[in-house]
Amino acid sequence: MSSTSITLPEIVPLLPVAGALVLPRGKLPLKILTKPFLQLIDNAQKTNRLIGVIQPKSLEEGQNGELFEVGSLCFIEKIKQQPKGPLHIEVKGLLRFRIKQEVVSNTGYRQAQVDYGGFLDDLKPVQPMVGGANHRLLQGFEGYIKHQGLGVDAQSFEQFDSDMLMTTLPNLCKFNMAEKQALLESDNSLTRFSLLLQLFEFGALQNDTGIRQ
């Protein structure tokens, strides 16, 4: 979907997913298991294929609990139904939104009136960062995954530009919900770049109990 062809909906169907980070231009695969969300995807597929991916504030309260205010308007790029399994989708982040208020709905899933003010720059083309940004991101990521014991090859991302690195690498890390939300709500790419480097550094200095050494 081209950003120039988007009609931004005022009311957005919400897919609450703990730990989901979909940055503008980023992609994320998701598994849809429950009936209300299967209905959400079916309805979106029949209309504009746009959904709002947003995190709940608490794992204990889950999908019916309080939500963070800022989420991602996403376009459903791929849908694959397993014969006897979950529905697999892949979404692409378009721009962020802020919830103004939730609306009463009989659809079985949550919907909200949203505001895109302050986030419209997400739709603009992004120039890759220069000055060794890619090297610093990959170096930080390599230290992080080595310490965390993640089976990921950092070298496989060497051909990614800085924007692709920043939208891809966080979802391969063990960042908590608050850390992912902070990345989502970062004012701009430079702020997000700095925060991501800090998270890599912090994760590389933690021991197995989560205490910084």
User: Could you list the pLDDT tens digit for every one of the 213 residues in the chain?
Assistant: 655 578 999 999 999 999 999 999 999 999 999 999 999 999 999 999 999 999 999 887 666 789 999 999 999 999 998 788 889 999 999 999 999 999 988 999 999 999 999 999 999 988 878 789 999 999 999 999 999 999 899 999 999 999 999 999 999 999 999 999 999 999 999 999 999 999 999 988 875 445 443
* Burial classification of residue 91, based on how many CB atoms lie within 10 Å of its CB (0-12 exposed, 13-18 middle, 19 or more buried): buried
Query: Do residue 142 and residue 192 come from a single domain?
Result: yes
Asked if the structure places residue 39 within a domain, the reply is: yes
Asked if the structure places residue 211 within a domain, the reply is: no
pTM of the model: 0.91
Give how many domains the chain has, as a whole number. 2
Query: Do residue 119 and residue 137 come from a single domain?
Result: no
φ, ψ of residue 180 to 5 degrees: the values are -65, -35
Asked if the structure places residue 23 within a domain, the reply is: yes
Structural domain containing residue 157: 133-204
